[in-house]
Structure 1
């Protein structure tokens, strides 16, 4: 395989190049670029199989590569970051591969092996499209909750679950507080339908899968949330839930 490393730090490029040379025999050619623009030019010129792309670069984030390839991508991307919480959250949402600096050899090998499989199966566009959607979701990470005193803006990550209560909805927050909102559950299901972290597991519940501790196959299937709340999961939703978990966390 041919690979390109895009990173504004020369030392970081060389370190990663050496790790790849010493541990990834399937990669036979490595080229380097010091910024996104020159990296994109190199990609178009050399047609690599694999691109290691740093996120934190001056002028342009590595995430901006999606703007250069809006329709189709024919190479695998492994993002590299010194830890950007916003980006890592997006990667987890979309199951896109990433490496944290300093790069661990075992994680590097695993990422390259996974990339080889994706390249052979020609499954390169799906994850990038999911990443694009995830980044959009995270850029608007607020929801408006109409409470008696006005409007409360809550971050998606602050919400454990929504529970139907007739024409009202109880919103449980990670702080332990809950708010009763004068809108039906359907309102929130429609509002969050494109956010992969929220899942309607039952006619009465919309959960944040980030806070599911366990799927319990006992006493009827239920989800154990991290506040110890047991939430039922419908039989018709069970397989779909497992698919989402595999795509997001495995």
Structure 2
């Protein structure tokens, strides 16, 4: 981790640096600035994790850091270092992870730094989870996750011929000739794929991929014959709707 010490007193900076080197091994790099303006320039150019910020400095107070940063994102934790008394410092906790009273006590420094590191690690995990979720959201645009006894398989929508209800289970027929029994009712997949127009529910027990229809048969009632030769009934209340769409699209 990388830290920055902003303090106008050279002796205070060197003392804090030495304490961090001795007591906080997670911090590998320690930068220094003698005033807030110089510190802000470092913040803008470096990827910092923790900033140890003195409050009473010439020209700019440490409390003005957000003013000088303007639109620069604050992706680091701030620990104030100050000679202020306890009552005044309490207010600073609203904008900082912690504060340290001068002269700085070793245990308080370690505790404040560990608190900042814990928060930073939590943020890193959250970012990783968000990135992973984003990647899976992209995957979900083209594939569906099917839970099977041995794990989860990811199948392209185009590779699914149809879903068939089997009580509280659903049988999924795939383009490669295989099928999987999934421990979810057909309703689950109907709702999950409702935004994909290629899937159509011609009957209460079936959800078919229109891309895999081979034939419409009117023998002994209306039936769809899929590319795997499986016959799917079209319920009476869906026949007119289905034929109307076919006539409109294919001009039969």
Pick the TM interval, shorter chain.
0.3 to 0.5
TM-score (norm 2): 0.46
Bigger radius of gyration among the two: 2
With a CA cutoff of 8 Å and minimum separation of 6, indicate the structure with the bigger relative contact order: 1
TM-score (norm 1): 0.46
